[in-house]
């Protein structure tokens, strides 16, 4: 028997409310850890990009002489 056949005899509120709530209770910690990890990874990537961009900007500025304001 497939999942569709198993869920077809149940009321709508079991399929759309009870089962997702059970899934959140069982896997809630895992989901929260995964989301936290992804947000932390995104933050670290953004910090890395900002630092590399800053270093590239400083190196180009120093190589150009540093005192010229007409580079813009």
Give the separation between CA 70 and CA 68, rounded to whole angstroms.
6
- Is residue 69 over pLDDT 80? no
Contacts 24+ apart (CB under 8 A), 36-40: none
d(CA 69, CA 60): 13
Q: 1-55 pLDDT, tens per residue?
A: 677 788 888 999 999 999 999 999 999 999 999 999 999 999 999 999 999 999 9
DSSP state of 16: I
């Amino acid at each position: 028997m497939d999942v569709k056949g198993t869920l077809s005899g149940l009321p709508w509120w079991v399929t759309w409310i009870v089962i997702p709530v059970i899934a959140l209770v069982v896997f809630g910690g895992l989901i929260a850890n995964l989301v936290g990890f992804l947000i932390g990874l995104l933050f670290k990537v953004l910090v890395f990009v900002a630092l590399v961009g800053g270093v590239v900007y400083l190196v180009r500025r120093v190589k150009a002489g540093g005192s010229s304001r007409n580079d813009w």
